[in-house]
Amino acid sequence: MTAALTALPRRSFVRTGGIVAALARIAFAAAIAYRSQFIVWILATNTPLVMLALWSSVAREAPFGHFGERAFVAYFLLTLIVRLLTGTWVVWEMNLEIKDGTLSQRLLRPVHPFLVYAVDNLAGIPLRVLVSLPVAVVVVATVARAELTSDPLMWLAAPFAVLGAWLISFSAMLAIGSLGLFWESSIALWDLWFSFYFVFSGYLFPLELFPRWLLRWVAVSPFPYTLSFPVETMLGMTSRADVLSGLAKQYAYGVGFLVLALWLWRRGLVRYAAYGG
């Protein structure tokens, strides 16, 4: 009896693992099949390059704050890489599926839809890494020695910071997507989030350039942790202690949003009527 009880969770764990592996295979195949869409998305992620051209030409006249021309090049190329690795669009997918009722098919599956969404998203990573590689090569070839950090601890922290950035964006998207079960215009909230992200994540310029009083408020918000935190870690712009406390805050936000999303999802499903939300 007791043996059966202890075996049960382990078996279901193994089963979930199998399901995830199968889902990942399907999602990877889908990512390959729809590669043209993916390429368009990559081409559309051109803001960091435009900003690079802009700020580095400004810095050519004279350094801007701490940033010289090369520092801007390093900053925006890393921004591009982090953005390529962590970008998600699950909120649009959820919104569409709730509106046209195809969400019902997901609900019939014996896994949590959030897990499926996450696997879908993460299965694209090989492709994302593939397109990020040339950018990384450019970074290493041009500005690496002068601008990147040489502290091994920073490089150890960097992958976790990138993963944390993904976790925050993805969970926030899940939370806003779940709101779609209550409110048909929930996508407007995403627009709002994105407009804040645009300005306060370091996507358009290094946050350091903000006036100090504003920076204090920005640092409390989740937005820097979705982009500028991993970038600044790799550039060695933060101290060791700040990186560790930054990681803690980052994962607190990520898990917080995930819990919120799960709660909203459970409450929302009760109201879900398979068509039109």
Partner 1 sequence: MPRYLRLLGIQLRTSLLLAMQYRLEFFLDGVMSVFWTASALVPLLVLFGARTSVAGWTWPEALLVVAAFTTLKGVLDGAIQPSLGNVVEHVRKGTLDFLLLKPVDAQFMVSTSRFEPWRGSDMWLGLLLFAWGFHAMGRTPTLGGVAAAGALLVAAVAILYSISILVISLAFFVVKVDNLIYLFISVYDAARWPASIFRGALAFVFTFVVPLAVMTTFPARALLGRLSTLEWAGAMVGAAVFSWLARRVWVRSIGHYTSAGG
Chain residues that interact with partner 1, rule: CB under 8 A:
34, 36-37, 40-41, 43-47, 50-51, 53-54, 57-58, 64-65, 185, 188, 191-192, 195-196, 198-199, 204-205, 209-211
Which CB atom, from 94 or from 204, has the smaller least distance to partner 1? 204
| For partner 1, the closer CB: 16 or 45 | 45
Q: Which of 83, 94, 4 is nearest to 44 (CA)?
A: 83
**Which C-beta is closer to partner 1: that of 86 or that of 161?**
86
Minimum Å gap between C-beta 92 and partner 1 is 11
CB of 53 to partner 1, least distance (A): 5
Least distance from partner 1 to the Cβ atom of residue 80, Å: 13
Are 147 and 71 spatial neighbours (Cβ–Cβ below 8 Å)? yes
SS3 category, 250: helix
Nearer to partner 1 (CB atom), residue 198 or residue 263? 198
Q: How far is the CB of 36 from partner 1 (least distance, A)?
A: 7
Q: Is 132 helix (H, G, I), strand (E, B) or coil?
A: helix
CA distances 227 to 21, 29, 48, Å, are 29, 28, 12
